[in-house]
Structure 1
Amino acid sequence: MQEDPSSVFNQPEFKASLAKYEQMMQDGIRVYFEAEELTLIAEYYASIGDPTSSEEAIDYALSIHPENLDVQIFKCHSLFSRKKIQEAQQLLYSLPDQNDYEVKLLYIELALIQNDTGKAKRLFEQCYEDYPHIETSLDIAQLYMDYQMKSEAYPWLLKAYKEDPENPETIELMASFQYASENFDEAVKLFNRILDEFPYNVDAWLNLARCHIRMNQIEQAFEALDFALAIDDTNLIAWELKAHCYLEQGETEEAFKCFDYIESHTKDKGYIWNVLMYVHFDLGNFEQVLEYSKKLLEQYPMPENEFDWAEICYRRALACIYLNLADECAKAIIMGLAFNNHDYRLYLVKGELHLMYEEMEKARKNFKYAMQFSPTPKEALVGIAYAFFRTSYFDKALETYQELEQDYPAEAPFFYYFIAFCHFRLNQQEKMFKYLVRGAVYMPELLTNNKKEFPTGEDEAFFKLAFEIIRQIQQGKLDPSPYLDENK
């Protein structure tokens, strides 16, 4: 195998250039760099998950070397990744050497972005005819992979693999392919092959960690991340993966130490605020959801306009529902619908807000909009049922859950405990017992996982009975079969 290309970031020459560049940025004084130095610095920032710094470095390179083709090509790639297609197109058409190999790849990428797969295929084949090398096969496979076209990528990847199965770039791309195809065991073997030869390849350690996370092997993931951080303790991707590992283990305090490190060191504040908003939402920390959604919305429009702003408003509105902040919820809904008036989830929250004010007709009107704009009726029905459930309209919630049970029988076990609780609140003991048994048989774990979604206090009797039924079935003291007949 040849030298690992990523190891250049560990070379003293590069580290000196990076230190010089960062000192320049801190001092605010322009310093001369070679085009290659700045392109490599931009590539480094991109590799550690800091697109803002990467963009700054390449723009500085353009200010010094406006005619340098490599710098312009990197800028094109950057614009593509930020979905600034028109600006990228203009730069691409103006590049001085239209016959350059990398420029031709940019035209192919543009075809993929425009969903012109036929044109992309023709350009790929022509490119390989002009440059019939293993590197070309890998570039073609990589581009297809970048645009989630695994079936088109595989023949080119296999071609490169058969030509040179010991080529490190081929092995790494094959490992990425296996990961994307969810063949995690095979991906682990391939990433370990890379690391046997190149133990300082941070990307390989990170990808190995991702495999272990997907396989729920959190301890092995921690080991891989510790190796990555031993090589580069400033790698923000490693810190984020480590945070998610801690969350998987329920160690939220350690996870937030990692997130705090990222937030204090990244220039891309919006990205980490968005991550933290989602994490706090999943943990039920709704005050923090409001904090981070506010920070995000105050930044609108951010460079690249990269966020789903309606999604942020939806999360904020739902957090307000949980916190009984009706006025703030209404403001978030109005803002969200201004971003996307076809987001069915915002109509669900708006309907629930009307239910809180006992405005049933207004609620139903918004639920009708949610049904109209939802990708599938099921998604809207689940939200409607839950809105009725959360606002204690248990008769209406029950009707909706029964509709779901009838129309989507394969999904029914997800709703059994909610149906049982509706019967409990409606004093329908026999029907409640039937669904408690069904929940215990098909998805007992949901009782614990979803308990925070149920009212508390006087309803503890419901949970005591539900857990007792699970225990009796598991110990063979209760025969569940009479309660599983759908006709009863």
Structure 2
Amino acid sequence: MNLSHEEEDRNLSLSRFESMLKTNKVLFFDSEEFEDIILHYMDTGKPSLAKKALKLALEQHPKSTGLKLVQVEMLVFEDKLDTAEKLLNELYAIEPTNEEIYIQKANIFSKRDNHEKAVELLKIALKYTDDYADVYNLIGMEYLFMDELELAKENFIKCLQEEPEEQSGLYNVIYCFEFLEQYEEAIAFLTKYIDTNPYSEIAWHQLGRLYYSIKNYEEAYKAFDYATMIDDQFMGAFMEKAKALERLNRYEEAIENYQETIRLEDPTSYALLRIGKCYEKLGNEIEALKYYNQTVHEDPLLDKGWVAITDLYFKKKNFQKALFFINKALAIDSENSLYWKRYATINRALNFYEEAEVGYRKAIEYGDYELDTWLYWVDILQFLGEFDTAIQTLLQASEYFPDEYEIEYRLSGLYFMLQEHEKGSYHLTNALHLNYNNQTILEELFPIVWERKMVQDIIAKNKPL
């Protein structure tokens, strides 16, 4: 790997500095060398070395404004804002046109959540700076803190106009467009940007993401494809391209691109799972199972892997194997609602109703509040003759689904079974008002109740005109 002259010079300075620390022999560095050394240690999370370098630097260059500004940066990093501000005021008296003074003052006000004042100071910095892109980017970030997304976007765009290859500026612009849900405008902006920066793989990748978010998978695929042609090591673009191809039902090509992500980096459970899904869609269940097994081997805690294996066996009506794998999953994570729901469904298919009842109960206990889970659980309770528990469960479900006819029909049937005619009539009337045509629920689940004259009279009385 070839290093630039700047990197070689910095590495040489670092070697000399660290050698000096080991030998206690004092060497001379110019102030800019010291700035690079200090900032390197700050950026790499070595504050003690940064402080040593700063101390020696100020001893050798006590009047250097640049070093004192680095000292301010270190003080701000340590939240010593009052001390930093005092030092900045001293520097301002000496160099009132130094843009870095205004930038650091803005940083202090930002830390104090006074973002309006920070913007004011950064706008002054614009008058004195040569690096407009950096200052526009900082102004954009301050507007983000204030939730002024339009103004943030405007400044990030100015940053890009000054420095078109500034990647963070590009990401920030797109973030604002997305937050504002301006997808078409974002696509138009990126298309124009790409006209003048056709080899920006980041821009193509972001364009693909935007097309994907509006479900234009064909254009998304094309954009991701360009990104991978520009940079054949761009793992994220290969992953997104594979997802778009999968949406387009081009499963063989999707598999190739997921495989490419595995070639570029270590296998991820997500890529392995998606390859398995593609093979399953192609009807190749042997390969699908192979990749699902690799998925759970790679990440035993990934519920989607275990669910995929279980569902494949369930679909093949191999309920015993499905039960075996969902039990393995439950042994790893016994508080996963997805696992418990699968466990219940499989046991119901095997006519193991007591086990199914436990599964649905546990699924809801661990956070599955889907309507069908409540209804399956209640129907199992009814089958087991636990009418009172079924009623309590339905009343609990009605808190989440207050006007659900499926709950009301079941409540009416259960109350009639318990000879609580007034409550049965009340819930049947509710059910008929909510959905008259689905009264067959009562007929299917409670045939004895359905045949009662009282019930038929209520149905007739509530028939819509």
TM-score class, shorter:
0.5 to 0.7
For residues 408 and 140 of structure 1, what CA distance do their matches in structure 2 show?
A: 53
Equivalent residue number for residue 322 of structure 1: 247
Residue aligned with 1:253, SS: helix
Equivalent residue number for residue 186 of structure 1: 114
1:104 aligns with 2:26: no
- The CA deviation at 1:337 is 0.9
Residue aligned with 1:336, SS: helix
Equivalent residue number for residue 420 of structure 1: 370
- The CA deviation at 1:331 is 0.6
Larger radius of gyration: 2
- The CA deviation at 1:315 is 1.9
1:264 aligns with 2:195: yes
Question: Which residue of the other structure, out of 209, 215, 227, is the alignment partner of 1:296?
Answer: 227
- The CA deviation at 1:319 is 2.1
Residue aligned with 2:246, SS: helix
1:129 aligns with 2:59: yes
Number of aligned residue pairs: give it: 335
Equivalent residue number for residue 89 of structure 1: 11
Equivalent residue number for residue 407 of structure 2: none
- The CA deviation at 1:200 is 8.5
For residues 313 and 139 of structure 2, what CA distance do their matches in structure 1 show?
A: 45
Return the letter of the residue paired with 1:106: D
1:163 aligns with 2:93: no
Return the letter of the residue paired with 1:189: K
- The CA deviation at 1:328 is 0.5
Question: Which residue of the other structure, out of 70, 81, 85, is the alignment partner of 1:139?
Answer: 70
Question: Which residue of the other structure, out of 161, 164, 180, is the alignment partner of 1:249?
Answer: 180
Change (3 A) 1:404 1:117: same
| Identical-pair percentage | 13
Change (3 A) 1:275 1:173: farther
Contact 1:213 1:221 survives alignment (8 Å): yes
Return the letter of the residue paired with 2:11: Q
Change (3 A) 1:328 1:115: same
Q: Which ranges of structure 1 fall in alignment gaps of 5 or more residues?
A: 1-58, 60-71, 80-85, 145-150, 302-306, 442-471, 473-488
Equivalent residue number for residue 443 of structure 2: none
Question: Which residue of the other structure, out of 206, 210, 219, is the alignment partner of 1:279?
Answer: 210
- The CA deviation at 1:258 is 1.3
Equivalent residue number for residue 461 of structure 1: none
For residues 189 and 387 of structure 1, what CA distance do their matches in structure 2 show?
A: 57
For residues 214 and 194 of structure 1, what CA distance do their matches in structure 2 show?
A: 15
Change (3 A) 1:266 1:177: farther
1:347 aligns with 2:276: no
Which deviations, in whole Å up to 9, do the C-alpha atoms of 1:402-424 show, x marking residues without a partner? 98792599xx99x968x728749
TM-score (ref. length: structure 2)? 0.54
Change (3 A) 1:279 1:165: farther
Return the letter of the residue paired with 1:278: R
Residue aligned with 1:163, SS: helix
- The CA deviation at 1:339 is 0.8
For residues 313 and 389 of structure 1, what CA distance do their matches in structure 2 show?
A: 28
Residue aligned with 2:147, SS: coil
For residues 291 and 184 of structure 2, what CA distance do their matches in structure 1 show?
A: 39
Contact 1:188 1:208 survives alignment (8 Å): no
More off after superposition, 277-286 vs 322-331:
277-286
Contact 1:313 1:335 survives alignment (8 Å): yes
Change (3 A) 1:172 1:91: closer
Contact 1:161 1:171 survives alignment (8 Å): no
- The CA deviation at 1:317 is 2.0
Change (3 A) 1:277 1:436: farther
Equivalent residue number for residue 195 of structure 1: 123
Change (3 A) 1:421 1:386: farther
For residues 289 and 239 of structure 2, what CA distance do their matches in structure 1 show?
A: 19
Residue aligned with 1:164, SS: helix
Return the letter of the residue paired with 1:139: V
More off after superposition, 161-170 vs 382-391:
382-391
Contact 2:194 2:203 survives alignment (8 Å): yes
- The CA deviation at 1:254 is 1.8
Return the letter of the residue paired with 1:99: F
State how 1:301-316 maps to structure 2 within 5 Å. Answer: 309-316=234-241
Residue aligned with 2:78, SS: helix
For residues 5 and 136 of structure 2, what CA distance do their matches in structure 1 show?
A: 28
Residue aligned with 2:249, SS: coil
TM-score (ref. length: structure 1)? 0.52
Which deviations, in whole Å up to 9, do the C-alpha atoms of 1:416-435 show, x marking residues without a partner? 68x728749x9678799899
For residues 275 and 391 of structure 1, what CA distance do their matches in structure 2 show?
A: 38
Return the letter of the residue paired with 1:264: D
Return the letter of the residue paired with 1:343: T
Aligned CA-pair RMSD: 5.3
Contact 2:201 2:231 survives alignment (8 Å): no
More off after superposition, 243-252 vs 357-366:
357-366
Return the letter of the residue paired with 2:266: N
For residues 333 and 280 of structure 1, what CA distance do their matches in structure 2 show?
A: 20
1:332 aligns with 2:257: yes
Contact 2:140 2:155 survives alignment (8 Å): yes
Q: Which ranges of structure 2 fall in alignment gaps of 5 or more residues?
A: 17-26, 93-98, 339-362, 381-392, 403-433, 435-465
- The CA deviation at 1:298 is 1.9
Which deviations, in whole Å up to 9, do the C-alpha atoms of 1:65-101 show, x marking residues without a partner? xxxxxxx9x952xx5xxxxxx897379879xx97222
Change (3 A) 1:436 1:122: farther
State how 1:16-95 maps to structure 2 within 5 Å. Answer: 76=6, 89=11
Contact 2:152 2:176 survives alignment (8 Å): yes
Residue aligned with 1:406, SS: coil
Return the letter of the residue paired with 2:120: N
Return the letter of the residue paired with 1:406: E
Contact 1:172 1:191 survives alignment (8 Å): no
For residues 200 and 332 of structure 1, what CA distance do their matches in structure 2 show?
A: 49
Return the letter of the residue paired with 2:335: Q
